[in-house]
Amino acid sequence: MDFRVFCGHTVIKDIPGFLKQISSVSSENGTIIQAMNAGMIVGEKHVAFAVEKALRAIANKCNAANDPGIEIMRYASGKRQIGDAFLMGVHEGEMDIVFVVLGDPENISCSLAELGGLVCKKDVIEYSARKREAILSQFDITEKEIGAVGEEMVPELVLERVALVDVLK
């Protein structure tokens, strides 16, 4: 199964309505779409690793979530509990957003075209200083850790947390 990432900026006035639109795009195109708060994502490598881990868990029948999108978000969050993973989800108001779209390449392209109508495309996926506080909190990264490895290694510390989701059961 292929996947692509689409990022942008949007204003969400109604969460259920927004999620219904995403679900409709997903159903119409035969894709799986997961929306996440870009403020808690440190780069494409973070998303790709979460997708890889989630698909492997599903294939091995050791997934915690029945929904593949939720399983991806669970790994992306670096948390074992599904409820904790929802902190990575979308919220009302102005926000940067990352969509992960899985399926056949042609169907992914159709979904991406439709998602483009929901958000203003913008590169918001990479780690930046404005994401720092949310990232450190979400992934329980301490100043001591950063002092030991350096600020530039924060994305690697996040990947470590994603890797540990299966270990810390």
Condensed to tens digits (0 to 9), the pLDDT of residues 9-66 reads: 999 999 999 999 999 999 999 999 999 999 999 999 999 999 999 999 999 999 999 9
Q: Is residue 61 situated within a structural domain?
A: yes
Q: Taking Cα atoms as reference points, which of 168, 164, 140 lies closest to residue 154?
A: 140
Q: pLDDT tens-digit profile of 82-140?
A: 999 999 999 999 999 999 999 999 999 999 999 999 999 999 999 999 999 999 999 99
Q: How confident is the model at residue 168 (pLDDT cuts 50, 70, 90)?
A: low
Tell me, what's the pLDDT at 167?
A: 82
Report if residue 39 sits inside a domain: yes
Residue 169 placed within a domain: no
Q: Which domain holds residue 78?
A: 2-164
pLDDT score at 164: 94
- Counted domains in the chain: 1
CB atoms within 10 A of CB 12: 18
CATH number of the domain where residue 16 is located: 3.30.2380.10
Residue pair 46/56 in contact (Cβ under 8 Å)? The answer is: no
**Contact yes or no for 35/85 (Cβ under 8 A):** no
Q: Tokens 């947390």 correspond to what residue?
A: 161
Is residue 144 a part of any domain in this protein? yes
- Decide if 91 is inside a domain: yes
Please check whether residue 48 lies inside any domain of the structure: yes
In a domain, 160, yes or no: yes
pLDDT at 12: 97
- The pTM assigned to this predicted structure is 0.94
